[in-house]
Structure 1
Amino acid sequence: MVGEKSLKRIYTFLIYMFLYAPIIVLIIFSFNNSKSRSEWDGFTLKWYADLFKDKQILTALYYTLGIAVLSSIIATAIGTISAIGIHKMKGFNKKLILNVNYLPILNPDIVTGVALMSLFVFVSMPLGFTTMLLAHITFNIPYVILSVLPKLRQMPKNITEAAMDLGATPGYTLRKVILPMIKPGIISGLLISFTLSIDDFVISFFTTGTGVSNLSITIYSMARRGINPKINALSTLMFAVVLILLIIINIKDKKERGIKNETI
């Protein structure tokens, strides 16, 4: 038994090393005084200072965060309402809608990007901030629906009917009964949408216009001329922000669970 446990621990350690070793190397070399990716030439913070002086990166960061925040909020609102509607459907119509919802997820990004670009060109919509925002909302909605639906299935059956029998209006039931119960799914959908929006390259590349570029497109264009240490610094900061957000969410979740257990 001891040998089996040790093997499991070694296997788990190797898996995590495989996943996080590139990130660790990236973080270390973001503090390297040299541009070299193979030799250490002393500790420095100059790449972080240069990062905040680079107008191209700062502009890309502005568009990235703006589109990510707006698209995730709008997609979460639309996806949550859609999930509630799908949950109430039955039979063939429900299966059909669910299968249609899976298509954007299973579809290759390049197909989705080209299709959206063709649509925007067909309706004579200039490519730019608006088209990229609409594209991000489009591919985020299915993920929100898939995040919220499991929480809706976990709800007690006929709970909405019970609330309305006690005098609650449909709007009040939605705000005070349904939404609080599916809140974890909504938050998960929001975070997934935000992450996907920041990470997306292919769809953004096909739906952007002149003067509008997010971080993934900017980093790609910079990487073609060679990896700049500023990219390492930027990636390190993004990783740190995501890690801090996850820690805060987990701490908050534990506190909420502790309050619920004390109440019970």
Structure 2
Amino acid sequence: MARRDFSASRIPGFATVAVLVFAALYLPIMMLVIYSFNSGDSIAIWEGFSFKWYPVAWNNEQVREVTFRSLTIATVASVIATTVATMAALGTTRRRGTKGQTFIYVMINQPLMVPEIVTAVALLIFFASIKVATGYQGLGYLITAHAAFCIPFAYLPIRARLEGMDRTLEIAAADLYATPWQAFRHVTLPLLMPGIAAGLMLAFVTSLDDVVITLFVKSAGQDTLPTYMLAQIRRSVSAEVNAISTLLLLLTVILLTAFFLLTRKRD
């Protein structure tokens, strides 16, 4: 008998389970997008097709304010996180193995393993003591908290890129009397840029949609777009929230598509 390679798709019921999983994941999102074009106020009753909720959301001054604040925090936090993650990735991949390197790797990725609520409470206690001592109540706390939480998200693609890079060119640069900085600037950094860009986008998306840490760290009047939407839903769910969610979904899809294109292996 001819040998048949194993394929999970041949398992009885595999296709049914796959369809159910995808339906559970994407049907709610599809319904959200569809009802963002509902002409009526209800989110459950279709009353006709209309774009009216998008201008309503755009003309809402509070929505513009929290959106600008969210983009500002996400941009600054992702830049900080990516810079730190790049240095950490270089430190853990471009040096000889030392004792404790596994511990260092675990500590860098610790926010991914610890429940987010634990990190949020820890940051609340830490920043509360600083607020009492300094009296400062600005966005610096949110930016710092988001940057710290986003470091492992930026670190993973950057480290993966470094581990997949051939060190021959770096060694050749050193043989040609390039200083470590020259070798990094002209050889390592250009080759590493796709990983850095991917880490930056992943950190940006993670910061942009964070709710738990933001709720614990923010001061009064520092709502971001996700926390604003959460507050609106607690009062009443309107199609305006659907429109905002759809635009946020579109931005996330664009960034994740770019992330995939940057990190996929080329033949």
Q: Same fold (TM over 0.5)?
A: yes
Q: Gaps spanning 5+ residues in structure 1: where?
A: none
Letter in 2 for 1:71: A
Q: Which residue of 1 aligns with 2:75?
A: 69
Which one has the bigger helix percentage?
1
Alignment of 1:95-106 (within 5 A): 95-106=102-113
Partner of 1:228: 238
1-structure distance, mates of 2:149, 2:259: 24
**3-state SS of paired residue (1:236):** helix
1:118 aligns with 2:128: no
Q: Deviations over 1:185-214 (max 9, x none)?
A: 222211110111011011111111122110
- Equivalent residue letter for 2:125: S
In the TM superposition, what are the counterparts of 1:26-175 in structure 2 within 5 Å? 26-87=32-93, 88-123=95-130, 124-125=133-134, 126-157=136-167, 159-175=169-185
Most deviating of 99-108 and 78-87? 99-108
Q: Contact 1:120 / 1:127 at 8 angstroms: preserved in 2?
A: no
SS of residue in 2 equivalent to 1:45: coil
Q: Which moved more, 1:206-215 or 1:88-97?
A: 88-97
Q: Measured at CA, do residues 150 and 229 of structure 1 come closer, stay the same or move farther in structure 2, by a change above 3 Å? A: same
Q: Percent of counterpart pairs with the same letter? A: 32
Change beyond 3 A, Cα 1:201–1:44: same
**Ranges in structure 2 where 5+ consecutive residues have no aligned partner:** none
Query: Is the Cα–Cα contact under 8 Å of residues 52 and 58 in structure 1 kept in the other structure?
Result: yes
Aligned-partner SS, 2:229:
helix
Letter of the 2:24 counterpart: F
Q: What code does the residue aligned with 2:171 have?
A: E
Q: Which moved more, 1:70-79 or 1:32-41?
A: 32-41
Q: What is the TM-score with the length of structure 2 in the denominator?
A: 0.86
How has the CA–CA distance of structure 1 residues 174 and 83 changed in structure 2, closer, same or farther, with 3 Å as cutoff?
Answer: same
- TM score, norm. by length of structure 1: 0.87
Q: For the structure 1 residues 79 and 117, does the alpha-carbon distance in structure 2 shift closer, same or farther, using more than 3 Å as the test?
A: same
Aligned pair count reads 256
Contact 2:194/2:263 (<8 A) preserved: no
Q: Distance in 2 between matches of 1:249 and 1:190?
A: 9
C-alpha RMSD of matched pairs (Å): 2.5
2: CA distance, partners of 1:59 / 1:34: 25
Equivalent residue, structure 2, for 1:205: 215
